[in-house]
Structure 1
């Protein structure tokens, strides 16, 4: 596969065995509470951790592990762990405030406060997966839901949210424009935003979203007898990467893997933040095929964690995404077939690119002993787009 990537290498400062920032912003208690709640949901099951042995051999590394989030709650992505849980926490806070007593998550989930919940509207902006999770959660909890999408979100993904009972509002502009509109209209109408992006004065739902993602990371850690040497994590606003990095640090402490953040070169807000040494917004002039990563403004909370935990930031071009999707769907040797969405393969595409570039591989510390963990963040969430990718000329 002819791949290309560029890297901005930034080595972390010396950190304690459990990084202070990660623990302060996203504590072990946050993760534990999310684990206790989400694993009690109907339909919960750990998703597969796939060992791609033939691919690892072809890349001359010891191991490639791929956490396949396609089966998660039948929603197709890891986002099922985040928005639905954060929605439940918003409802818990609001019902507690209105009743004057602290209510439990289980009482919300069981419908004990259904009448109050039906009067609370939850809203968010999305590229697809986050909104689908929120719509699913709202349907389960009996809560009105409004989802804002931008012009380039596929109609298939929009319909999936409508099918779950959400009102979907499509706007002109990009993802960041939809975030701004959702926030403005929620403030005007007294609705509640459930976002994976934090901003000054808005931190609880993004923290809950990231805590929910910790279920996925705990599943990975409990399935391993040793830490990976590297993890390649998708960028986006940074919530996934920050959550996984924090949870890995807390679990493996000084033995935590090296964190490599991967983004589209068309939407590289974390890459530019690493260069600037502070959270930095970029203008998106062209949408990337990796729809879930098309974010120009980083989450400030996520950036605070990544600034301490991430070692390397890499951007990749769209041209390498479809070949990587096909590579998973038409695997080498005895590796299993994995049907993945466009955003799911960013880490794998960057890994392959790095192993084809000796200088980049060396700068990332990759060698024959490397054990690399990848987060397959989504399965096929739009069958039409997947079919188009699979129909293209296979250049693998």
Structure 2
């Protein structure tokens, strides 16, 4: 059943050092503020932590738990926690400046400053899920929203953002080009970028985005009876991975799990950063099926945390992504059915592939006592792509 996952993974070791990035880049206070605010939102509910006991038995692990973010606020992904919260924080800072007084998050959330919010335009580049979260937040808080997408973002994902009131601008280049255009036009027009990646002089919104993600990690930790021994985290710019790694460190301390970063072979900026020992860009030549992970430039803030927390970096071929989606959707290992998107299964695919190789299994320290946490970062965010995968297509 799992034979199709018998593929070679590339691996490079991290160089984790005892440091304070998991507490200083993202503080316990940052996480606490985000958790207090987001859990007060209408429609908040913890997402499921699904036990994949059948899979665990087949790969020779003690347990595998999958945090399923598909139901999150009806938006289909964990990004609902980040972009919307960061938008709220940008509005709070700007309104406090405009009005010359402290404005609370609750006031904005309850609509007390809707007229003022209408004059503050928020923009971002996205592969889909972050933009959808930002558009949803802007619609809730009354702010105009412009979203920049690259050529390979599906029309289904673009339509989902338009349905939430966003103006969607499609460019001919890749994700990194869309980031540059969003920054340029925001500077020219006095708009505010709400990005999930940081750069020199731009840190507050990305920090808020990552703080928002901590809600997901806290839910998982509180649902687990024991700390996981491993967590497999998909890469992208590194925001999700860094947030989860920091939150796990803050929750479990010295018992925090081994952090394994998983990326597409076609977009391995964190893998290359680990090899180089510093944040390093990756030249994307071909788009991966994992649209949400097609990022060539790592977030500098995220890398600060991952440089200290990540033990391993692996890349996976696109060929095992669709099979991982079908494995969950069909309950092939006897586990509960989970409908997951392409980017959600990166960690799952890497875990199975690693366990199919005795050498890689040993390299990652996986054995019969391993308790593995996976972050299922999205549900079905593009029904057309999901349908094609379920029809048996491995490349969409």
Cα deviation code 1:113-169 (max 9, x no counterpart) = 111110000000000000000000000001000000000000000000000000000
CA RMSD of aligned residues (A): 1.0
Q: 1:9 aligns to what?
A: 12
2:246–2:305 CA contact under 8 A, matched in 1: yes
Q: 1:353 aligns to what?
A: 353
Partners of 2:25 and 2:335 lie apart in 1 by 38
Say yes or no: does 1:99 pair with 2:99.
yes
Q: 2:253 aligns to what?
A: 253
Q: 1:336 aligns to what?
A: 336
Partners of 1:11 and 1:238 lie apart in 2 by 14
Q: 1:21: how far off? A: 1.2
Please, which runs of 5 or more residues in structure 2 have no aligned partner? none
1:9–1:363 CA contact under 8 A, matched in 2: no
Cα deviation code 1:235-282 (max 9, x no counterpart) = 000000000000000000000000000000000000000000000001
Q: 2:123 aligns to what?
A: 123
Partners of 1:29 and 1:338 lie apart in 2 by 33
2:16–2:311 CA contact under 8 A, matched in 1: no
Partners of 1:221 and 1:130 lie apart in 2 by 24
Cα distance change of structure 1 residues 5 and 96 upon mapping to structure 2, 3 Å threshold: farther
Q: 2:302 aligns to what?
A: 302
Q: 1:146 aligns to what?
A: 146
Q: 1:373: how far off? A: 0.3
1:320-335 aligned within 5 A:
320-335=320-335
Partners of 1:44 and 1:13 lie apart in 2 by 35
Q: 1:8: how far off? A: 2.7
* Secondary structure, aligned partner of 2:4: coil
1:80–1:133 CA contact under 8 A, matched in 2: yes
Say yes or no: does 1:60 pair with 2:60.
yes
Q: 1:11: how far off? A: 4.3
1:190-339 aligned within 5 A:
190-339=190-339
2:327–2:333 CA contact under 8 A, matched in 1: no
Normalising by structure 1, what TM-score?
A: 0.97
Partners of 1:347 and 1:79 lie apart in 2 by 17
Partners of 2:256 and 2:280 lie apart in 1 by 27
Q: 1:342: how far off? A: 0.2
Cα distance change of structure 1 residues 393 and 183 upon mapping to structure 2, 3 Å threshold: closer
Q: 1:30 aligns to what?
A: 30
Cα distance change of structure 1 residues 393 and 303 upon mapping to structure 2, 3 Å threshold: closer
Q: 1:5: how far off? A: 3.9
* Secondary structure, aligned partner of 1:76: coil
Please, which runs of 5 or more residues in structure 1 have no aligned partner? none
Partners of 1:5 and 1:276 lie apart in 2 by 22
Q: 2:383 aligns to what?
A: 383
Cα distance change of structure 1 residues 296 and 212 upon mapping to structure 2, 3 Å threshold: same
* Secondary structure, aligned partner of 1:2: helix
Cα distance change of structure 1 residues 301 and 14 upon mapping to structure 2, 3 Å threshold: closer
Normalising by structure 2, what TM-score?
A: 0.97
Q: 1:331: how far off? A: 1.3
Q: 1:333: how far off? A: 4.9
2:21–2:308 CA contact under 8 A, matched in 1: yes
Partners of 1:335 and 1:12 lie apart in 2 by 35
Cα deviation code 1:185-218 (max 9, x no counterpart) = 0000000000000000000000000000000000
* Secondary structure, aligned partner of 1:282: coil
Partners of 1:216 and 1:243 lie apart in 2 by 10
